Structure 1
């Protein structure tokens, strides 16, 4: 079970990661080390861990953990899980290790042993590096990733510099534990400017995830959009375009018309403008094909017919009556009919898994109808195309079966 980004965001919010707000973006040689070194310190990391351990340990017997071992914690209530965690979170390091001997295997069939997972969580709170290294050596399939992910997350929170340096020497394991996701989850608790500055230093994946979060967060708010665009302008070229592209795509989920009107001034590159507009229209058409087609008609791009055909051939398999009515209102356009026929054939040739059932029957009927429109308007051209068409398409066009 791989930890999900949303889970890390929740944990980050609950953990009160104020110390990360004090980081500054380093510059020049050793920038990452400079960034991490800027974290304020209240004594050595070892002394902090010792103090943390002393403050939380109470008089408990590790054997108390046995009373949870007969329960199915996979189906436990929140209260039952909290009861187990309240016990385990009071353990010292020596008690954690004793507890792991009592609970046994880290993995029960297809699932983690939740008591063992809690023990690793506690261990990594007290001394994360040994906990991570121990998890890395677990033999059970999935255990190293799951237990290592929990332990590494606590290490990232308590000592991000040390955790980062360790992951650079253990990149495959860190990737399996979603280390980049953890770092991004930490960064998005900061203001967008400082978060993106740091993300630039921490690799492509961290930058993409951080950027993606802020693009979505800014999409529905005019002030946030302006701030995000200003900060995105400081990113390297391809990332700047990627950030603005995604923000417009997310914005379009709520207000496609306004997002489309903004595209014109958002990109210097004409190809990017075209791609952004097509992406927004395509997503809009999946939710409301009639409105998307109406917008295209009022704002015709150079490839208007290709976009209309692409939207219509999907629409007709889902809402054939509405799609057929729209097509009839286009004046039986032979160019549109030809493009639809060609696109349906291309889809059938290039898609490994075809559509089935009612949608397949509707597509076949749409193919016949649009081919007839084309053949009436331009009979020689349509007849010539049919000679070289895919045999399955020919069979559909020449058969009366649904």
Structure 2
């Protein structure tokens, strides 16, 4: 009898441990995404809610806890949205009240964004008002989750609300989306409309128009259309800003297309001084890997580049390909470029705290020393006079011999 009772006690203990372990495991899963505190209000809200709402909330909670502390997978996001897209405003508010810890966990943050997007589809003003309150006000993405569906559904209403009630930041957010929408719906009149109806949308219109031009493979037709839109505006500042944005759209793109755009800009008659800036910047990009062509173009009358800009380009060249640059300077009687580059690089080292024992000075000494030798060969008096102004240790660097391979 005693043995039987002992076995029964052991079985009960084992079952108790197993049950506790199962509880602990489930508890860890629930805690991973956070569990809302149970209050009288939450119990009453759940008891009074329609069955369809409680079922949807339970399904979302199950998906949320599967994700835990991780980002939901695309499939999980799709499953969540299939539930949320059927929510009413009351359903959205009820589930927001069920999510603990606000936006502190990835799964919760993703659901909150979806819930506000759905809320904005039905009641954008209410969603905006709630989204700008704690704990959501600290989120940078929350206003956009409201504004995007709002502008898509009722752009004029969004602008009216922003003018009457919006803060500067809210006007900017709404303006970004309004500008994007205007440019897509009515590109020819978008800038004029933005300026007249909602000035905060002007920058977004400019960006969208230049992006659309780029998306159309930078075609001549798309650029001419953009130039035509600009020519019809009476605001020179807006025209300049749009051309500026167009320049940047070619920064990492097809440089040959950019040169074609320069020519078309000239033909449009829009702001010759900006066209000239565009031409110079494009040419710099095109000739980035062709330093000699770039150098010769910068020295041409067409370039209008200053002497400082020419020396700067030469300095970049001599640091990457010293033999080519030095030979070019001698051939084109530009020893003054050599001299200025030697001075710039030497003074830069002095300002950086150069000392004779610096192990990192080898490459600098090699490149600068070779330039100095070329300068001294063509202008010995000027080079020696400048050398005499340097600290003794640095004079020794320039007076030391170089071997055939250009090292000490």
| Same fold, TM-score > 0.5, yes or no | yes
- Deviation (angstroms), 1:131: 1.0
Instruction: Give the direction of change, closer, same or farther, for the CA distance of 1:226–1:102 in structure 2 (3 Å limit).
Output: same
Q: For residue 156 of structure 1, what is the aligned residue in structure 2? A: 151
Aligned mate of 1:198, from 171, 193, 196: 193
Question: Following the alignment from structure 2 to structure 1, what is the Cα–Cα distance between the partners of residues 104 and 225?
Answer: 48
Q: For residue 230 of structure 1, what is the aligned residue in structure 2? A: 228
Instruction: Give the direction of change, closer, same or farther, for the CA distance of 1:188–1:216 in structure 2 (3 Å limit).
Output: same
Asked if structure 1 preserves the Cα contact closer than 8 Å seen for 2:372 and 2:398, the reply is no
Question: Following the alignment from structure 1 to structure 2, what is the Cα–Cα distance between the partners of residues 284 and 250?
Answer: 15
Asked if structure 2 preserves the Cα contact closer than 8 Å seen for 1:241 and 1:267, the reply is no
Asked if structure 2 preserves the Cα contact closer than 8 Å seen for 1:263 and 1:273, the reply is yes
Q: For residue 221 of structure 1, what is the aligned residue in structure 2? A: 219
Instruction: Give the direction of change, closer, same or farther, for the CA distance of 1:196–1:276 in structure 2 (3 Å limit).
Output: same
Q: Deviations over 1:211-251 (max 9, x none)?
A: 23323443521111111112112331122233234435545
Q: For residue 208 of structure 1, what is the aligned residue in structure 2? A: 203
Instruction: Give the direction of change, closer, same or farther, for the CA distance of 1:113–1:264 in structure 2 (3 Å limit).
Output: closer
Q: For residue 88 of structure 1, what is the aligned residue in structure 2? A: 84
Q: For residues 145-294 of structure 1, what are the structure 2 equivalents within 5 Å?
A: 145-168=140-163, 169-174=165-170, 178-201=173-196, 206-218=201-213, 220-235=218-233, 236-248=235-247, 250-251=249-250, 253-254=253-254, 255=256, 256-261=258-263, 265=267, 271-286=273-288, 288-289=290-291, 292-293=294-295
Q: Deviations over 1:157-210 (max 9, x none)?
A: 2222332233343324416x7333222221231342122222323666632332
Q: Deviations over 1:31-87 (max 9, x none)?
A: xxxxxxxxxxxxxxxxxxxxxxxxxx9996433222112122743322211011100
Aligned mate of 2:312, from 300, 310, 313: 310
Residue 66 (str. 1) matches residue 61 (str. 2): yes
Q: For residue 137 of structure 1, what is the aligned residue in structure 2? A: 133
Question: Following the alignment from structure 1 to structure 2, what is the Cα–Cα distance between the partners of residues 292 and 385?
Answer: 29
Asked if structure 2 preserves the Cα contact closer than 8 Å seen for 1:69 and 1:103, the reply is no
Q: For residue 75 of structure 1, what is the aligned residue in structure 2? A: 71
Question: Following the alignment from structure 1 to structure 2, what is the Cα–Cα distance between the partners of residues 349 and 161?
Answer: 62
Aligned length: 334
Asked if structure 2 preserves the Cα contact closer than 8 Å seen for 1:196 and 1:207, the reply is yes
Instruction: Give the direction of change, closer, same or farther, for the CA distance of 1:223–1:249 in structure 2 (3 Å limit).
Output: same
Residue 98 (str. 1) matches residue 94 (str. 2): yes
Report which stretch shifted further, 71-80 or 261-270: 261-270
RMSD of aligned Cα (Å):
4.2
Asked if structure 2 preserves the Cα contact closer than 8 Å seen for 1:212 and 1:246, the reply is yes
Question: Following the alignment from structure 1 to structure 2, what is the Cα–Cα distance between the partners of residues 350 and 88?
Answer: 62
Q: For residue 370 of structure 2, what is the aligned residue in structure 1? A: 369
Question: Following the alignment from structure 1 to structure 2, what is the Cα–Cα distance between the partners of residues 337 and 63?
Answer: 76
Question: Following the alignment from structure 1 to structure 2, what is the Cα–Cα distance between the partners of residues 382 and 274?
Answer: 37
Instruction: Give the direction of change, closer, same or farther, for the CA distance of 1:345–1:152 in structure 2 (3 Å limit).
Output: farther
- Deviation (angstroms), 1:394: 6.2
Asked if structure 1 preserves the Cα contact closer than 8 Å seen for 2:182 and 2:205, the reply is yes
Q: For residue 335 of structure 1, what is the aligned residue in structure 2? A: 336
Report which stretch shifted further, 89-98 or 161-170: 161-170
Asked if structure 2 preserves the Cα contact closer than 8 Å seen for 1:234 and 1:240, the reply is no
Q: Note the residue ranges of structure 1 that are not aligned, 5 or more in a row.
A: 1-56, 352-357
SS in 2 for 1:283: helix
Instruction: Give the direction of change, closer, same or farther, for the CA distance of 1:187–1:364 in structure 2 (3 Å limit).
Output: farther
Q: Deviations over 1:292-349 (max 9, x none)?
A: 44654677534375444333433455xx34x532542343521322343465578789
- Deviation (angstroms), 1:151: 1.2
Question: Following the alignment from structure 1 to structure 2, what is the Cα–Cα distance between the partners of residues 111 and 379?
Answer: 73
Asked if structure 2 preserves the Cα contact closer than 8 Å seen for 1:282 and 1:311, the reply is no
Q: For residue 34 of structure 1, what is the aligned residue in structure 2? A: none
Q: For residue 119 of structure 1, what is the aligned residue in structure 2? A: 115
Q: Note the residue ranges of structure 2 that are not aligned, 5 or more in a row.
A: 1-51, 353-358, 401-406
TM-score when scaled to structure 1?
A: 0.67
TM-score when scaled to structure 2?
A: 0.66
SS in 2 for 1:209: helix
Which of 1 and 2 has greater Rg?
2
Question: Following the alignment from structure 2 to structure 1, what is the Cα–Cα distance between the partners of residues 396 and 77?
Answer: 60
